[in-house]
Structures are given as C-alpha cells and as structure tokens.
Structure 1
Amino acid sequence: MNSVFSLKFIVKSSDIDDLNHVNNVSYVQWMDTVAFEHLAHLTKDNPLPEYVWVVMRHEIDYLKQAVLGDEVIAKTWVGKTRGFTSERLMEFYKDDVLILKAKTIWAMLDSKTYKPARIREKVLNILQPIK
C-alpha cells in the first residue's frame, strides 16, 4: 500500500439524516475534503498548478453506520494510476471498525485547456511516494 493519509471528522447534526445516521452526502463531502487535503500534503514541496483534478466515478460500500458525536477516521491512498486517470482508495473507521470503503476515479486535466493530461513520471512520483 502506498503512503496512507488520515483525517478525523466528528459527526455533527448537519451530517445526520432522517434515519439518525451520517447521510451519504456527508460521506461524499468528506471524501472530497480528504482527497483535497491529501493532494495538498503530497504537493506541498512540489506544487502542480498546471493540472486540475475532476471526479469521473465514485464506488462506495456503506458497511456500518456512524451517528451524532462519533469520531470518524478517514484513511486514503493512491491506487492504480495510468493514462490520465488515478484511483483514490478510502476507508472510514469508527472505533477501529471499518464503516465505509470507497474508490474514486479522478481525471487529471490541463489547468488552462481543461483537456485530459497524461500522468507522467513527475506527477506519478508525487502521487505515489515510496516509503
């Protein structure tokens, strides 16, 4: 597994749905936050302003629930990367119990033209640091 990045969330009342657990929309927002923070962490020494990333696909398995006040730890790492796409894998935990697994396919675009840009070695070395 590549370098794992973690971020903590505390479930707020705005995250709760009519069934009194975290709404799927909140999970997707958390996934976006974790992806953004992880990329910022990876690129802090080597910014990549010439590229932007957009979501092409989400796959989410909701395994258990989280409720108001729970602490949820999100873990993410970069998966298969080829062409202009890169997988981001995530797991969310409550009390060390896996509650959600997700895979998102991101596309890298040129920041000026918004056209797909092939992920070359420079970017790959930043996305998948060797530990």
Structure 2
Amino acid sequence: MGHVNNAVWVQWMEALATAHWEAVAPPEHQERYAWLVVRHEIDYRGNIREGEVAQATTWIEAPPEGARFERRYEFRSAAGKILVAARTQWAMLDVESGRIMRVPPDVAAPFMTP
C-alpha cells in the first residue's frame, strides 16, 4: 500500500528498546538479564511513505511493577505530527535460570527520569 506496515512499526519499537537498553544498562546487567514482550498497545495516527523520515523517542515513565517494565514510544513526522504513540510492557528474564523475575531497583534506576 506504499506506506509503513504495522509489523515494521513494531520492529522499530523493538530496535529502539534494545538500543536504549544497550546504551544505558551496564554490561553486567546486559549479560545477566533479557527482556520479553508481554503486551503492545499502539495508536496509529498517521503514516509515512518510502523515502520519508520519522523521529522516534522512547522512555520509561514509571518505576517497574514487579517483573513488568512499561516503555513508551512516539514516532513523529518531519513536521512534528505524532504518527504513532505506543507502549509496551516488558518482563525481565534472568538469563541463567530462564525465569521471569522482579526488576531489581538498581536495574531500573538508570532508566528513570528525575
């Protein structure tokens, strides 16, 4: 149909989350923990076509609740219009045990805005 499809927006959300985790989390946390998607909620308000660009932002708005950490996203057009607003609930996985676990405060702290 000549525009970005839903699966691509989700791939971009995952890429943003991964880049944020790798930029902020210390190496020992990256080795010990992994993240699993529990839920996506996406509001499509516009779209872009091939050759157009969008600016993406991701952030953590609130402290984690148990094993779940909610991440927010916005994609904006070059003119600043919100194209996609989304949130994803992620669950933390202990890599060694393979089990979902509560998010430790020291893991969450670097992602919380003051």
Both proteins in one fold, TM over 0.5: yes
What SS class does the counterpart of residue 9 from structure 2 fall into?
Answer: helix
Please show how residues 1-131 of structure 1 align to structure 2 within 5 Å: 19-43=1-25, 46-47=26-27, 48=29, 49-80=31-62, 81-95=64-78, 96-130=80-114
Identity over the aligned pairs, expressed in percent?
35
d(CA) in 1 for partners of 2:103 and 2:59?
17
d(CA) in 1 for partners of 2:113 and 2:76?
24
What SS class does the counterpart of residue 12 from structure 2 fall into?
Answer: helix
Asked if 2 retains the 8 angstrom alpha-carbon contact of 1:79 and 1:86, the reply is no
Q: By how many angstroms is 1:129 displaced?
A: 4.7
d(CA) in 1 for partners of 2:105 and 2:16?
24
Q: By how many angstroms is 1:116 displaced?
A: 1.4
Q: By how many angstroms is 1:79 displaced?
A: 2.6
Q: By how many angstroms is 1:119 displaced?
A: 1.2
Q: Number of paired residues? A: 110
What SS class does the counterpart of residue 57 from structure 2 fall into?
Answer: strand
Residue identity opposite 1:92 in structure 2: F
Partner of 1:13: none
Asked if 2 retains the 8 angstrom alpha-carbon contact of 1:53 and 1:107, the reply is yes
Partner of 1:4: none
Q: By how many angstroms is 1:23 displaced?
A: 0.8
Asked if 2 retains the 8 angstrom alpha-carbon contact of 1:84 and 1:118, the reply is yes
Root-mean-square deviation (Å): 1.1
**Greater share of residues in helix:** 2
Which blocks of at least 5 consecutive residues in structure 1 are unaligned?
1-18
Which blocks of at least 5 consecutive residues in structure 2 are unaligned?
none
d(CA) in 2 for partners of 1:55 and 1:30?
14
- TM-score, structure 2 as length reference: 0.91
